[in-house]
Amino acid sequence: MDEFLVLLTNTPGVPDVVGLLFPNLPNFIAHVLATIVIVVFLAKVVYKPFRESIDKRRDKIDEVLNEAIVKQTTANRDRKDAAQLLREAKTESVEIVEKARIEADSQKADILEAANIEASNLQGYAKKSVARERAKAEGEIHEAIVNVALQAASKILEEKIDDSKDKKMIDEFIANLDKDNKDDVA
């Protein structure tokens, strides 16, 4: 093995490689300490603000997501409320239309009943009017008959001939009255 070391030390470039394989301990410690200082420095100066920034951004994102969830929930509730209001409005409109139809039918029935009553009243009035006119006409006819009878009686009294002639004159007079009455009615 000694020979091997001698060979290694005498070979050009090999001692440099061997020295490079085993680090210099003071340099190694200095590098490790410098790395620790840099890591601590970066942790304090860079990582902590970076972490705070990330946490703030995460909190902001969580806040925005929570607001979105609340707004979505509110929108869903409002949509359900709107749908419920729409259903209620449709139901109410159907009820209003039905009530209006019933009220219109009721008014129609009332109008028809009033028209029937008025027609009945007019018919009754017309019948009473016809009856009055008839009674008036009968009264006038009666008065005319009485006048004619008086005239006939006065004529009979003027021409007092005999009973058979009186009877014949009265029969003719009544026949003429019946004939005149039938002509007036027709």
Q: Say how far apart CA 161 and CA 170 lie, in whole Å.
A: 13
Q: What is the pLDDT of residues 71-126, one digit of tens each?
A: 999 999 999 999 999 999 999 999 999 999 999 999 999 999 999 999 899 999 98
Is residue 166 packed enough to be buried (19+ CB in 10 Å), middle (13-18) or exposed (0-12)?
middle
Residue percentage of the chain with pLDDT more than 70 = 78
What tens digit of pLDDT does each residue of 37-46 get?
Answer: 999 988 888 8
Query: Which residue blocks in 13-161 are alpha helix, DSSP H?
Result: 14-21, 25-42, 48-158
- What confidence tier does 17 reach under pLDDT thresholds 50, 70, 90? low
Tell the residue number behind the tokens 């008014």, with chain if given: 107
pLDDT at 184 over 70: no
The pLDDT assigned to 158 comes to 66
Q: Would you say 126 and 144 are in contact if contact means Cβ atoms under 8 Å apart?
A: no
pTM of the model: 0.38
The distance from CA 143 to its chain's CA centroid, rounded to whole angstroms, is 75
Q: Tokens 């620790």 label which residue?
A: 36
Q: Are 148 and 177 in contact (CB under 8 A)?
A: yes
User: From CA 32, how far away is CA 38, in angstroms rounded?
Assistant: 10
Q: What is the pLDDT of residue 101?
A: 94
